[in-house]
Amino acid sequence: MAERLAGPKEALLHAIIRKNYGCSHFMVAQDHADPFAGTSHKLFYPKRAAQELVEEYSDKSGIEMVPEEQMGYVEDKAQYVFLKDAKEQSVKNITSEEFKRRLEYGLEIPSWFSYPEVVSELRRSFPSRSEQGFTIFLTGLSGSGKSTIAKVLMVKFMELRGRPVTLLDGDIVRKNLSSELTFSKEHRDLNVTRIGFVASEITKNGGIALCAPIAPYEESRRVNRELISQHGGFVEVYVATPLSVCELRDRKGLYAKARAGLVKGVTGISDPYMPPENPEIIIDTTKLTPAEAVQEIILYLEEQRYIQ
């Protein structure tokens, strides 16, 4: 079933669906389907509202509501107890959010919380970050240093020999995957989303995708983030080298031609570049060498446990 996070009304819908599948009783949590359940935020819906609504309509729905009572583990007794009966005892618990975090980061999950065999199967289905594929998505102006950083990163990852690595440089993709596209906004977006699709397949299969397009628009970058994040890690690196420096480098001569009016649609001159809103890493190559920039990225990946 799709998660709607609609609180009490979603609980009632769940009750009706379960009744249709032959259930006689339905256990409902105090914070059932609340968008902030299991987090440190205040609940969006009133506590126990879901239980009350399902119980109110139990005669019409034909399914009985069973209130779920919160429980915790008392180590001294080696057993679970209801929190309302715990009194002064030291109670341990792991929320669903914390459990998910421990799986994601490969952290220990105590045997009192779940059977080791169950945890083992869950680790197969939800591998830790160090076992997932991921995408490094470098975006910035032409001449900012994206491709150089991506190439150095590729060598670094090949040395680590942990996962297969694929470089999806902007020029390479334009030549081999998007040769029929123009430089209109629609086609630029399409080019970036094509890169995102290929990167998502690489990520899904446990590899590393290094993407280095200009990717000037936030919308297409957001679409890529959402797509790739379903399958593994997504790290956006904004190579924020100033336009003036990029123009001095101008290896392709694009900026000079754009300033002279010989070509149109050059990002930064006649076409806008929208800086990323929340990149994981920001790099200015006027302050860092390519090797130093790569080290910044590697440190971030180690921090986030994508590499060990």
> Which of 1, 294, 304, 301 is closest to 147 using CA atoms?
294
pLDDT band of residue 120 (cuts 50, 70, 90) is very high
Q: What is the pLDDT of residues 62-78, one digit of tens each?
A: 999 999 988 888 888 88
Residue 78: strand pairing partners: none
Q: What pLDDT is stored for residue 2 in this prediction?
A: 80
pLDDT band of residue 40 (cuts 50, 70, 90) is confident
Q: Where are the alpha helices (DSSP H) in 28-179?
A: 49-56, 58-61, 83-86, 96-105, 116-125, 146-160, 170-176
CATH number of the domain located at residue range(s) 129-303 in this protein = 3.40.50.300
Taking the C-alpha atoms of residue 225 and residue 140, their distance in angstroms, rounded to an integer, is: 16
pLDDT band of residue 172 (cuts 50, 70, 90) is confident
- CA 275 to each of CA 108, 159, 282, 287: distance values in angstroms, whole numbers, following the listed order: 39, 32, 10, 18
Average pLDDT value for residue range 146-169: 94
- CA 288 to each of CA 144, 201, 240: distance values in angstroms, whole numbers, following the listed order: 12, 32, 11
Q: What is the pLDDT of residues 240-250, one digit of tens each?
A: 999 999 999 98
User: What is the chain's mean pLDDT, rounded?
Assistant: 92
Q: What pLDDT is stored for residue 75 in this prediction?
A: 84
Q: What is the pLDDT of residues 190-201, one digit of tens each?
A: 999 999 999 999
pLDDT of 202 over the 90 cut: yes
- The domain locations on the chain are 8-67, 71-125, 129-303
DSSP 8-state class, residue 87: T
Task: Pick left, alpha or beta for residue 237 (phi over 0 → left; psi -120 to 50 → alpha; otherwise beta).
Answer: beta
Taking the C-alpha atoms of residue 3 and residue 179, their distance in angstroms, rounded to an integer, is: 40
Q: What is the pLDDT of residues 234-282, one digit of tens each?
A: 999 999 999 999 999 988 888 999 999 898 889 999 899 999 999 999 9
Q: What pLDDT is stored for residue 265 in this prediction?
A: 85
Q: Where are the alpha helices (DSSP H) in the chain?
A: 8-20, 49-56, 58-61, 83-86, 96-105, 116-125, 146-160, 170-176, 185-204, 218-229, 243-249, 254-259, 290-303
Q: What pLDDT is stored for residue 11 in this prediction?
A: 96
Quick one: tokens of 210?
Answer: 């290094």
pLDDT of 29 over the 90 cut: yes
Average pLDDT value for residue range 172-186: 86
Q: What pLDDT is stored for residue 85 in this prediction?
A: 79
Q: Taking the complete model, does pTM exceed 0.85, yes or no?
A: no
